[in-house]
Structure 1
Amino acid sequence: MNPGCDHPLPLGEGRGEGRHGVTVLLLALLTLSACGPTQSAPFAPSTRENPVVGGTSAPDDEAVVALLARRARCTGEPLTLLCTGALIAPDVVLTAAHCLDIFGTEGAYEIFLGARLLPEPEPRGHFARVARAVKHPDYDRASHTFDAALLRLARPLDAPPLPLPEPGWGELETGREARVVGFGDTKDASTPSGERRQGTLRVTSVDPGAFHAGPSPAMSCVGDSGGPVLVRGSDGREVLVGITASGDVACRRDAFNVRVDALLESFIAPFLAERLPPTGPVLALETLCTAACTRDDECPSGLACVPVTEGGPGRCLQPALQEGDYGALCTEDAHCEAGSVCARLEPEGEDACRCFTPCGQSQPPAPEEAGGCTGAPGPGALAWLVWAVWLSRRGGAGACAGHRCG
């Protein structure tokens, strides 16, 4: 396991120093072919697919989930594993803030609940859409101080949340063993990728807001970021005491973890206590080319309200698709008319996939007519990169700094 900004971290024997997460993903995106209606290519296994270094399978840790970039197509789109997360309420996931640095808090995400995400095409579990994401207000990219984020899911999950540290649970101190769980890199080419794994660390130092741990013998790695670090309390039950934030690049010596008890009062408790606003009427799927929006909650199925021109009206769309209407149910592109694709509105379910037709076009536009990467109906990793650039201009995205992250 190895914690990082945008790739799965593995549980392993150690870590290395240097930037690893966001930078690797951006390089992978930038090295893809030129803009066009092509789907994204899978990332290299060394940065995307492997789990916890020196760890073992963790099939029973149901509350440990994988964080993914939300898929826009119903067929042919590879899964993009970003980080790990810990379910702390039926509809709330705690993860690392740097996991959201690329696409920002307004990016499109989903989570995976299950023991095996990869290899594709048959993940063994279920998906749920992320409806809202919030970073800790005092998060610092360079130092990973308060490197924490909370995700509100569009629907609650049927899994017992991890217990948070309550008064009297015990004490986090140097020398204690801790268990880390994640979907990250294993540093072992023979170990199946995308599997939820666990391993044992030993606490080496404790500060008011964070703690370090070393291999005993496992280690978190890229992709494990945001995953839980668990310690047995005074009553013998495991307690969520930390989340993986960073470490050395080689995943061999040091794991830096944010303390959960330092997040409880000012960050986690207010978020858990929030009352969700009542849902109002939303725009019809077949009217999105003509109906303007002003807020995300006016858009169906979690589509975002995005200004398509500066100062112009907002349209409900997915980040990897241009403006368009949604029509009949489908399972693949062949079920849709010419110029349409089978687009994914929800991660799963009978009504998740519908035929998407770009506004005012019966055929897919040529790249020069479409305005570059975002114009074609294919989602593609480059379209995600354009989305990230747009978010960065709004102050939503940034690169990880310091040690390994992801």
Structure 2
Amino acid sequence: MKRPILATLGTVFSAFSLMACMAGEAPQDVDQATGEEVVSEAEQAIKNGTPATPDEAMVVSVWRDSNLCTGMLLSPSRVLTAAHCLTSTHTGDYTVTYAGEDRAISQILKHPNVSSGVDVGILVLSTAYSLGPLTEYPQVNVADTDGLIGREVTCYGYGAEDVGGTCTSNADCATGFTCITARHRCYKPTTTLRKGDFTVISDPDKDDIWFRLDVLNASGQTTLPGDSGGPCILENTSFGTKHVVGVHKAGNNTDMSTNTSREAFAAWVLAND
């Protein structure tokens, strides 16, 4: 079925091996003036991010055993994520979770130009989600990356908790945390979805395939391990629509965060709807 992916059916490479799943969230402090949750340094998806609800951009968590990535529902049965999260060819190795409901996988698709840097894949769910009549999926449109430069986007992720410690092996980390040797820091998965607002800047290497986020932003936010595959969403306030413009690819937790641009993947996604 070929159609634009806007449905009204109802309302870093950063995916690292994160070896223990959280049993629950620690209690959070609340700002007495605003009533909003205060995000601690050790409780982070998007670093210092604002808590988000999955239905804001149809965001899911993607699990391969205990390894965590993020994704976005394109429809009740298809999930957009990063191809580098899809390291296994066995569908039984993956579970997708949306709003507390788990789904198994029936098919794994990877963009044909993954080797050229188009780090995007699609997971087909064995059983579609049952979603209410006002659900909106962010649109996928074919458009040049140049038009995004300087625009503000909201990016989502189920990134890892950062215990704040440096490491060279798991022995250096607290119980339940894993040493991500590429970053020499200790992390573990989180069940908390967070978001941040970022300005799109040009990628110096492949500006027609990738774009970068201007990080850290004014709120000290950036992406973390586990945010891979998470969507960056552009709001079209004139028409009240949301557009997925990027899929998180990689970051270094300080001053670099790279996304695969819709320019590189939109036509393929639309052809595989």
TM-score grouping bracket, smaller chain normalisation: 0.5 to 0.7
Match of 2:14 in 1: 4
d(CA) in 1 for partners of 2:210 and 2:265? 10
Q: Which amino acid aligns with 1:269?
A: L
| Cα distance, 1:64 vs structure 2 | 0.1
Give the match's secondary structure for 2:227.
Answer: coil
CA distances 1:37-60 after superposition (whole Å, capped 9, x unpaired): xxxx659x9xxx952102011024
Task: Name the residue aligned to 2:224.
Answer: 221
Q: Aligned residue for 2:125? A: 153
Write out per-residue CA displacement over residues 83-136 of structure 1, whole angstroms, 9 at most, x where no aligned residue.
0001011110000000012x235552110112xxxxxxxxxx111111111111
Spell out the pairing of 1:42-81 with structure 2 (5 A cutoff): 50-59=44-53, 60-61=55-56, 63-69=58-64, 80-81=66-67
How much does 1:269 deviate? 2.0
Instruction: Describe how 1:104-183 pairs up with structure 2 within 5 A.
Output: 104=89, 106=91, 108-114=93-99, 125-140=100-115, 145-159=117-131, 160=135, 162-166=137-141, 172-183=147-158
In structure 2, list runs of 5 or more residues that go unmatched: 1-11, 26-42, 165-188
SS of the residue 2:113 aligns to:
coil
**Residues 137, 167 of structure 1: alpha-carbon distance in 2 compared, 3 angstrom cutoff:** closer
Task: State the match for 1:232 in structure 2.
Answer: 235
Letter in 1 for 2:83: A
- Tell me the equivalent position of 1:399: none
2:104 counterpart SS class: strand
Partners of 1:178 and 1:64 lie apart in 2 by 15
Q: For 2:126 and 2:240, locate their aligned partners in 1 and report how far apart those are by CA, in whole Å.
A: 33
CA shift in 2, pair 1:161/1:110, >3 Å: farther
Which residue matches 1:100?
Answer: 86
Q: Do the aligned partners of residues 87 and 176 (structure 1) sit closer, same or farther apart at CA in structure 2, a change above 3 Å counting?
A: same
CA distance in 2, matches of 1:62, 1:205: 24
- Contact 2:159/2:227 (<8 A) preserved: yes
> CA 1:3 to 1:87, structure 2 compared with 1: closer, same or farther past 3 Å?
farther
Q: Normalized against structure 1, the TM-score is what?
A: 0.46
Q: RMSD across aligned C-alpha pairs, in angstroms?
A: 3.0
Quote the residue 2:269 is aligned against: 268
Tell me the SS of whatever aligns to 1:263. helix
DSSP 3-state at the match of 1:269: helix
Identity across the alignment (%): 28
Counterparts of 2:57 and 2:212, CA distance in 1: 25
**What CA distance in whole angstroms lies between the structure 1 residues aligned with 2:126 and 2:211?**
32
TM-score, structure 2 length as denominator? Answer: 0.67
| 2:233–2:242 CA contact under 8 A, matched in 1 | yes
- Which amino acid is the alignment partner of residue 51 of structure 1? A
How many residues end up aligned between the 2 structures?
208
Judged with a 3 Å threshold, the aligned counterparts in structure 2 of structure 1 residues 259 and 246 are, in CA distance, closer, same or farther, namely same
Partner in structure 1 of residue 197 of structure 2: 200
Q: Is the 8 A contact 1:50 1:194 kept in 2?
A: no
Change (3 A) 1:180 1:106: same
Query: Who wins on radius of gyration, i.e. which is larger?
Result: 1
Task: Give the AA of the match of 1:113.
Answer: Y
